[in-house]
Structures are given as structure tokens and as C-alpha cells.
Amino acid sequence: MGRYKLPIILGIIAIVVIILVILGIVFFKNRRDRDVITLYGNVDVRQVDIGFRVDGRVKAMPFEEGDFVPEGALMTTLDDQPYTDQVLEAQANVESIRTSLMNAESIYTRRTELVSIGGVSIEDYENAQSRRDVLLANLKEAEAALGVALSNLEYTRSFCPTDGTILTRIREPGTVVREADPVYTLSVCSPVWIRAFVSEPDLGLVYPGMEAKVYTDTKDGPVYTGQIGFISPIAEFTPKTVETTQLRTDLVYRIRVTVENPDRELKQGMPVTVKLFLNQGRGSSERRPGNCK
């Protein structure tokens, strides 16, 4: 029997060692996981509908779908001839009233000098004063109308409000559009938003301004840096479109991660993985606004 004891003892020791190794792996894995919160979400790029503040016939649309448009670029124009004519008409009206007002001012000045010595009647004096005042009011009205005409002429051109990419070319040159009808849909380049969800037990560990690392499914792809910009105060059940390691019936809170996108490779709807590192202190993350260039 003695010769069988040694293998049995060695077998028991091996089993104990294996159990200890497994427990150690689980312990260190759980400890490592507590240092990082991994979330899953999608890129939620903002969009802008580009249109006009006046109606008219579309004259030019130089950009196609997929084109990058820098901030301030002229995106589209209307036929401005009707609005140019309105400006000319308003300018002529202002000049006409201004000329009449100069004459009325001269008459009023003479009536003022003569009424004190009885050279004109009080009625003539008051009529001159009234005409002068009416023309002053008319001039202000005409100048306001000229300002509106000039603004409408300017509104026949639409400029890009921010760096972005053309998602949809809705209209074509020659189309008659109404006020506020969109002709382009622009995807805003920066900032890019990530919509993700944090579970209720981890809610107390995250905070606005917390730095985040964003990973795409591209192998060896770049890692994007962002920060938490918004945490919803309302709990909801995990959306079906979000892939998580938790049950879909878990209560979660929606968060928005604002991300730098220098290479413009983060596309709308793209699934991403967000990692939040818990060893960073509050206030240690510095806000880094996005940049498209």
C-alpha cells in the first residue's frame, strides 16, 4: 500500500494547484474588470438640413453626395433676379421719399419763420409740419423695407454652417422650392456623438467629463479619445439594438460620449466599443473638442 500513497498525494497536490490557479485567474480577471467599464453603442452623427429662408428657383448645387464641405463654403444658390429687382425698387422708393422730405423740411422752415410775423396762417404752418412728419415716418418705413429686401437677397445663398459631409442631395438645379425646403442633408463632422448605455450598478462610477476610449470593429484600427458629455437621468431597459454582456432586461442609463474624429472614419450608425477607465480621478480628464481637419 505504501507504494500507492505517493501518486495519490501527488495527484491531490496537482488538483489543489489547478484549483488555486483557476481561482487566481478568476480573481485577477475580476479585479482587472473592475478597473474598466466596457460599454457598447453606436455612432450618432448629427445632421443639418440645408435650405433657404426665401422661396425661389434653385440655381446652383455644386456638391454631390459624399463630398466634404468646409465651414463657410457656399453650398447652393437661388435665382436672385426677383430679389435684386426688389432691392432696386426699395432703393428708388427711399430716394424718392428722401427728396420729398428735403422739400417738406424746406417748406416747414419757411413757414416757421413766417408764422411768427403773420406771413402765413396757422393752418398752413401746421399742414407743413404734418407733411414733414408723415414723410419722416414714410422714410423710416421705406428704409426698413430696403433692409428686408437686402436680407432676402442675401438669403438666396446658403452657406455651410460647419465642417461636414453631404449625406443626401435632395433637390436639383431648376427646382422651385419654398421657404425652409431642404436641398441638402449635411452630416456634421465634429463633434461626433456615441450613444451608449451604462448599467444601473455602474452609474455611480461614471460622471460628465470622464475620459473614454472608443474602439471600432476594424482590426488594428485607431483608438479614438472622447469624454462623457451627458448622462440621462431616466432609466430604461437595454435597447434591442445594443449588444451587451448583460441581460437585455437590465435597467440602464443612456450616455453620450463626445469623440474626436480627426480622420472622419467614424460613420453614422457604426457599432463601437467604449471603455471607461475607473482609475482616473474626477477632473483629471481634459475636454478635447473634435476636429475634422
Strands 36-43 and 271-277: antiparallel
Q: What is the pTM of this model?
A: 0.69
101-109 mean pLDDT: 93
Residue 71 predicted with pLDDT over 80 = yes
Question: pLDDT higher for 114 or 45?
Answer: 114
Share of the chain above pLDDT 90, in %: 53
- Give dist(CA 106, CA 112) in Å, integer: 10
57 close to 78: Cβ distance less than 8 angstroms: yes
For residue 19, what pLDDT is reported? 80
> What are residue 36's DSSP bridge partners?
277
pLDDT of 248 higher than 60: no
CATH topology of domain 80-154: Helix Hairpins (1.10.287)
Q: Where are the domains of the chain?
A: 80-154
Average pLDDT over residues 151-164: 95
pLDDT at 125: 86
Question: Rounded to an integer, what distance in angstroms lies between the CA atom of residue 277 and that of residue 206?
Answer: 9
pLDDT computed for residue 239 by the predictor: 60
Burial group, residue 164, by CB count within 10 angstroms (0-12, 13-18, 19+): buried
Segment 236-242 mean pLDDT: 62
Return the pLDDT at 102: 95
Whether the CB-CB separation of 50 and 158 falls below 8 Å is answered with: yes
User: What's 44's DSSP letter?
Assistant: -
- Report how far residue 211's alpha carbon sits from residue 228's, in angstroms, rounded to the nearest whole number: 7
- 29 — pLDDT class (breaks 50, 70, 90): low
Average pLDDT, rounded, for the chain: 85
